[in-house]
Amino acid sequence: MPVIRMESEHTADVEAQDTGVVLTIRGCLDQAAGEVLVQAAARVVFEQASRLEIDLCSLTGFTTDGACALVACKELCAGLPEGLHYRTGQGPGRDALLAAYADC
């Protein structure tokens, strides 16, 4: 499974599955991580995957810029046949998603 290395407190894993692509962000979803996330989502769209899942369960925190990247990904993925989906649990991942749609 490819791993995209960012700054030391960030990691993005990309996993192709039968049902589509899963992007997992670990650490803090800040501006730098958000930029990588949007670039990865754009690549998924370019490669014509049917579905994208963004896994936010391993987030340790987020900034407004990082959260807004989630909305940018939704806009990018509007044309995917099975769409964009988020995986969250309680904590920073869910909070980032809620903040994205409230503030961006």
8 Å CB contact between 51 and 83? yes
Whole-number pLDDT of residue 10: 58
8 Å CB contact between 66 and 36? no
| Partners of 55 in beta bridges | 24, 87
Whole-number pLDDT of residue 4: 39
Per residue, what are the HEC states of 30-67? CHHHHHHHHHHHHHHHHCCCCCEEEECCCEEEECHHHH
Choose among 26, 94, 15: nearest CA to 59. 26
Whole-number pLDDT of residue 7: 45
Total structural domains within the chain:
1
One pLDDT digit (tens) per residue for the chain, 104 residues: 343 334 445 577 888 887 789 999 999 999 999 999 999 999 999 989 999 999 999 999 999 999 999 999 999 999 999 999 999 989 999 999 999 989 88
pTM summary value: 0.84
Whole-number pLDDT of residue 17: 80
Which CATH number characterizes residue 15's domain? 3.30.750.24
Range of the domain at 91: 3-103
Whole-number pLDDT of residue 38: 93
